[in-house]
């Protein structure tokens, strides 16, 4: 089995190029379904999930052409031109969707463009139940008829296409907001989305849709107004930098007592993360070409709750937990978004961390050091927390099930080795 092997206790110093954002790319790729004109995405990260999404849209009839830019510097990701001049299929099969829940983001665009879509239900996930009821309710508010059968969602638009409507989300959902936004951009008339998600990836999606000719007001706020258009047109859009990747490397600086420049990271998308780092005792400075994060004495404990943007992101909870396992005192973390996002706790405990979980709350008592051990990755961010712990631990750590990491971290070992880590991958995939 492929694994990552880390020999820890090396102070990381240097520059880490931040890639394009996975969670922006996964909602920008389906935008190509909304037009018969070419959509070019630049700064696209080289990730397993992006490749899977490429295959998914190819199966729907989207032609994709990749041009590789220099990957070894920020903004150096790939450029992909996607052209859906004709939709060949409106079915997203179980085999694709089970590999990547984000496949559900083809539902809105297909329905808006073709008037029908059949998408496999995503099924279970390690971090939580993750239903899609809000996606379906949003599309029903635009006039769609939804049927569930044999593990699939079958959605049909009224004759003449989707119609603008009022959508008010009872809870904030990133994915449901994205599906509703994409569908509403081709619906007849105006749509208003209340309690919309405000994540930077949603803003990036709005920018791309606007470049394609969509009319959207209230970008970045919880109330979005979308004036539907009969057609969208060609555009080029640069994928925003990955704030979660940047935050993860910032924790690498913290946990190794290091000093890293996160090249191309955007501070305005990371305020809650940067505030957490500063409270934990790190020195954070915004520089012309990125954000510098440096250790500045012992790590301090924190009390943190995850919540929708602009609050502290759930996708940074595991990485902060690993860092706070070495803080000088007791931290309290509360996970409010997903009901099962502490799968990394027993693995960190194998490395000597002292963490007690009660319901949604984890109490992290700082220890003086961690010890290397073989550990099992369970999901994307949990696996990054194990890599971080391995960077600080005495001896050797082996992280198994590396495929979780490849879904969301581009060239992880390369980027960490370049700043002094002793990290390598071995074994068969």
Positions in the binding site for ligand EPZ (CB under 6 A):
23, 26, 102, 128-135, 171, 173-176, 313-315, 337-338, 380-381, 408
Q: Give the nearest distance from C-beta 55 to ligand EPZ in angstroms.
A: 16
Helix, coil or strand: residue 425: strand
Q: Give the nearest distance from C-beta 26 to ligand EPZ in angstroms.
A: 5
For the question of residue 208 being annotated catalytic, the response is no
Closer of 324 and 337 to ligand EPZ (Cβ): 337
Closer of 28 and 277 to ligand EPZ (Cβ): 28
Give the nearest residue (CB) to ligand EPZ.
175
Q: Phi then psi for 106, rounded to 5 degrees?
A: -90, -15
Distance in angstroms (rounded) separating the CA atoms of residues 61 and 28: 17
Closer of 23 and 378 to ligand EPZ (Cβ): 23
Q: Give the nearest distance from C-beta 379 to ligand EPZ in angstroms.
A: 7
Give CA separation, 160 vs 116, 215, 317, in Å: 12, 20, 45
Q: Give the nearest distance from C-beta 308 to ligand EPZ in angstroms.
A: 7
Q: Give the nearest distance from C-beta 108 to ligand EPZ in angstroms.
A: 12
Q: Give the nearest distance from C-beta 239 to ligand EPZ in angstroms.
A: 13
Closer of 124 and 131 to ligand EPZ (Cβ): 131
**What ranges make up the beta strands (E) of 269-373?**
283-287, 290-294, 303-305, 330-334, 354-358, 361-365
Distance in angstroms (rounded) separating the CA atoms of residues 205 and 184: 13
- Burial (Cβ within 10 Å: 0-12, 13-18, ≥19) of residue 327: buried
Closer of 44 and 327 to ligand EPZ (Cβ): 44
Distance in angstroms (rounded) separating the CA atoms of residues 298 and 257: 8
Distance in angstroms (rounded) separating the CA atoms of residues 302 and 292: 21
| Cα 100 from chain centre | 12
To the nearest 10°, report the CA torsion of 363, 366, 369, 370. Answer: 10
Q: Give the nearest distance from C-beta 197 to ligand EPZ in angstroms.
A: 6
Q: Please check whether residue 327 is in contact with residue 299, taking contact to mean a CB–CB distance below 8 angstroms.
A: yes
- Burial (Cβ within 10 Å: 0-12, 13-18, ≥19) of residue 288: exposed
Closer of 148 and 171 to ligand EPZ (Cβ): 171
Closer of 315 and 413 to ligand EPZ (Cβ): 315
Edge-to-edge strands, sheet with 330-334: 303-305, 330-334, 361-365, 354-358
Distance in angstroms (rounded) separating the CA atoms of residues 202 and 198: 6
CA angle 382, 335, 317 (to 5 degrees): 40
Q: Give the nearest distance from C-beta 175 to ligand EPZ in angstroms.
A: 3
Q: Which position among 31, 125, 206, 251 bears the catalytic label?
A: 125
Closer of 160 and 170 to ligand EPZ (Cβ): 170
Q: Please check whether residue 151 is in contact with residue 121, taking contact to mean a CB–CB distance below 8 angstroms.
A: yes
Which ranges in 229-366 belong to alpha helices (H)? 243-255, 271-279, 317-324, 345-350
Which residues are designated catalytic? 125
């Amino acid at each position: 089995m492929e694994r990552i092997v880390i020999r820890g206790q090396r102070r990381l110093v240097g520059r880490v190029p931040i890639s394009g954002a996975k969670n922006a790319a996964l909602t920008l790729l389906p935008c190509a379904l909304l037009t018969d004109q070419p959509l070019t995405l630049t700064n696209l990260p080289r990730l397993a999930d992006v490749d899977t999404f490429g295959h998914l849209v190819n199966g729907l009839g989207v032609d994709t052409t990749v041009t590789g830019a220099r990957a070894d510097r920020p903004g150096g990701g790939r450029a992909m031109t996607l052209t859906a001049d004709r939709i060949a299929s409106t079915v997203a099969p179980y085999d694709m969707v089970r590999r990547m829940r984000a496949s559900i983001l083809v539902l809105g665009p297909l329905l808006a463009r073709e008037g029908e879509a059949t998408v496999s239900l995503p099924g279970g996930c390690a971090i939580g139940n993750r239903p899609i009821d809000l996606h379906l309710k949003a599309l029903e508010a635009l006039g769609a008829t939804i049927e569930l059968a044999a593990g699939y969602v079958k959605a049909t638009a009224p004759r003449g296409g989707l119609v603008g409507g009022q959508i008010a989300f009872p809870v904030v959902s990133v994915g449901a907001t994205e599906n509703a936004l994409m569908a509403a951009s081709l619906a007849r008339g105006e749509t208003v989305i209340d309690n919309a998600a405000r994540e930077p990836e949603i803003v990036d999606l709005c920018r791309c849709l606007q470049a394609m000719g969509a009319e959207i007001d209230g970008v970045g706020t919880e109330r979005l107004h979308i004036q539907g258009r009969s057609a969208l047109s060609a555009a080029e859009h640069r994928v925003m930098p990955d704030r979660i990747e940047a935050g993860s490397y910032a924790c690498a600086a913290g946990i190794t007592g290091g000093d890293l420049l996160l090249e191309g990271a955007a501070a305005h998308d990371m305020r809650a993360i940067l505030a957490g780092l500063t409270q934990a005792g790190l020195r954070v400075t915004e520089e012309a070409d990125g954000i510098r994060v440096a250790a500045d004495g012992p790590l301090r404990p924190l009390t943190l709750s995850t919540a929708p943007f602009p609050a502290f992101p759930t996708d940074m909870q595991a990485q902060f937990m690993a860092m706070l396992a070495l803080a000088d005192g007791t931290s309290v973390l509360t996970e409010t978004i997903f009901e099962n996002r502490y799968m990394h706790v027993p693995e960190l405990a194998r490395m000597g961390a002292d963490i007690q979980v009660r319901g949604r709350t984890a109490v992290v008592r700082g220890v003086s050091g961690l010890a290397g051990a073989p550990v099992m990755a369970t999901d994307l961010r949990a696996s990054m927390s194990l890599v971080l712990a391995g960077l600080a631990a005495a001896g050797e750590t082996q992280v198994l099930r590396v495929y979780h990491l490849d879904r969301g971290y581009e060239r992880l070992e390369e980027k960490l080795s370049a700043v002094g880590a002793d990290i390598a991958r071995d074994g068969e995939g």
